[in-house]
Amino acid sequence: MRCYEVKEVIGVSLCQISAMSDRERRAGRKRGAHDIYCEVRGGFGEDKDDSFTPDTRWVLLSELVKTIGPEKLTELNKFAKALKTTLTKAQQQLEEEEEEDE
């Protein structure tokens, strides 16, 4: 099933580790746009006319652009804009908790 409706993006992975060889996991590899996955909460179906089944799944960004179109990926843009702030706040909180424990 493909994703045809995005309600929320809750994660991004720049590569799928399970698709990497042992050597690539140890030494790294070049990444490209076709390696990016988004963890999406949305509607999935066999085609755009199918009754969408709600689910959360990892979906290739290239598939989202193909099946949904860039103009409808506003949730991905919201996620991308908020990511730096979310990570910075989480890191600060964890560092403060670590200092309190010392």
**What CA–CA distance (Å, rounded) separates 33 from 35?**
5
pLDDT at 31 over 80: no
pTM for this entry: 0.76
* 45-102 per-position pLDDT tens digit: 888 788 789 999 999 999 998 888 877 888 888 999 999 999 999 999 999 998 888 7
More reliable by pLDDT, 63 or 28: 63
Burial of 6 (0-12, 13-18, 19+ CB in 10 A): buried
pLDDT at 18 over 80: no
